[in-house]
Structure 1
Amino acid sequence: MHTAYVIVTIAAALWVGFSAVSLLRRAPFVVDPLVAYGVPQSWWTPLGIAKAAGSIGLLLGLAVPPIGIAAAIGLILYFTGAVITVLRAHSYKTVAFPVLYLAPVAVALGLGLVS
């Protein structure tokens, strides 16, 4: 079980880290939907930093579990907010995208709590 936890946590951290870098670099495939959802541009950098911090926290959690737990909870709240934002924008066809980030973080948290 511990091996699965490590693999899923590293994969989730890399996946969320990719999303953070993409947002901070203003990649069109990330920021175009944010514009459509009505997310103010002034929020983009703080949101990217939050994702980056969560990604780093997941990795640190492999050595210091309370940090990983806190990071996972924060990211779960972050991506739950993203799902709500997408739904409020009535963009039902894109709601799967934040769920694709939420799911591995939730699995990593669950495996971490069991390990």
Structure 2
Amino acid sequence: MQDSFIDILKPLLPEIIIDYFQLTTYKKEGETLHLYIKEIYSIPKEYRGYKLTSNEFFEEITVQDFPIRGHHVYLHITRGRWVNSYTCKVVFKDWNLVADGTRVTQEFASFLKEINRFQTK
């Protein structure tokens, strides 16, 4: 069932969402569509040589996305994080690095940058 939703969402959502996140559930309430997406839990490339311990996920954040056929769309995003065993600092994917290697619109790259800024506070 997940695959059929992804096929439908591919032309509607930025490619980075399809490639690096998975749709966990969705909810339609009247004219509003809620998409719950969770980052695929893989160690960030820039930290593959480090000893990292899983630190589960950041708290879910909600972001309003572009409307789809007159429906308000909200992305409920959960991102992964790890703890560097040597520095005891939390690390997570740097979406600026990921965006450089993908076909993401500048607008969506800015959106992801804002998420990074929001979650590091």
Q: Compute the TM-score of the two structures, normalised by the length of structure 1.
A: 0.34
Q: Which has the larger radius of gyration?
A: 2
Structure with the largest fraction of strand:
2
Structure with the largest fraction of helix:
1
Q: Which one scores higher on RCO, CA 8 angstroms, separation ≥ 6?
A: 1
Q: Compute the TM-score of the two structures, normalised by the length of structure 2.
A: 0.33
